[in-house]
Amino acid sequence: MAQHRPHTTVVLAMSADGKIADFKRSPARFGSRADQAHLEKQIAAADAILLGAGTLHAYGTTLTVSQPTLLQHRIQEGKSPQPVHIVITHSANLNPEIKFFKQPIKRWLLTTTVGASVWQGRSEFEQILVFETSNGKIDPVAALQHLASIHITRLAVLGGGQLVASMVNLDLIDEFWLTICPLILGGATAPTPVEGQGFLANLAPRLKLLDVEQVEQEVFLHYQVQRH
């Protein structure tokens, strides 16, 4: 499947106990400047960014490329200064007043027929992509195949956990970049990098550790999803 879709990387920061937000699902701003720079580097390397509606609701904004060297590198490669930012949501119930819709980026919406009807005729999204399964749910496999067909070769997924879980379950993830931050959030309802129903241990996706780096109190882990 890999050759028919973009190379897809999950980029997330989490607490030492594996939470990507607190139990109130507040915006996760506990990463350091080093983590912020790391995230911007991963965004700059991507042709498109994929984020769920819950993540967008929590932050109200997205991270853009601002570091001059990263911008220059993208331009030298013939890319636009910013990757496309794609919001994936079944209902498309989004607040058009949030800062995200004022940022200087290309915005696409990946949704259902019902969700698309909410935004038809409006200017907030440059493109509205509808890829549905027979039961009216978003079809991520078909959507990623379409992205590959229009030369989006690298996709960065910025959360949330439900989106990542659905993509892991469909074997649509190639790599994980996980930043371990020095705090404990706890909470039975606090979100984790991969939500969903979960996997039995003997059936769980396996990872290969490619790199580990410590920067002050944070640890940056780079994993590759193993396929047999």
pLDDT per residue, tens digit, the chain (228 aa), is: 445 999 999 999 999 999 999 999 998 899 999 999 999 999 999 999 999 999 999 999 999 999 999 999 999 999 999 999 999 999 999 999 999 999 999 999 999 999 999 999 999 999 999 999 999 999 999 999 999 999 999 999 999 999 999 999 999 999 999 999 999 999 999 999 999 999 999 999 999 999 999 999 999 999 999 987
Asked if 95 and 59 touch (Cβ cutoff 8 Å), the reply is no
**Within-domain flag for 24:** no
CA–CA gap between residue 27 and residue 59 (Å, rounded): 6
- What is the reported pLDDT for 2? 46
Tally of structural domains, the chain: 1
CA–CA gap between residue 160 and residue 190 (Å, rounded): 12
**Within-domain flag for 22:** no
**Within-domain flag for 23:** no
Look up the domain containing 48 and give its range: 2-17+29-225
CA–CA gap between residue 182 and residue 189 (Å, rounded): 20
**Within-domain flag for 97:** yes
CA–CA gap between residue 222 and residue 228 (Å, rounded): 19
**Within-domain flag for 43:** yes
pTM of the predicted protein model? 0.95
**Within-domain flag for 177:** yes
- What is the reported pLDDT for 56? 96
- What is the reported pLDDT for 1? 43
CATH number, domain containing residue 87? 3.40.430.10
Task: Find, among 12, 76, 88, the residue nearest to 43 by Cα.
Answer: 12
- What is the reported pLDDT for 228? 72
**Within-domain flag for 160:** yes
**Within-domain flag for 76:** yes
Alpha helix stretches (DSSP H) within 150-223: 161-169
Distances (CA, A) of 226 to 86, 120, 123: 26, 40, 41
Asked if 64 and 36 touch (Cβ cutoff 8 Å), the reply is no
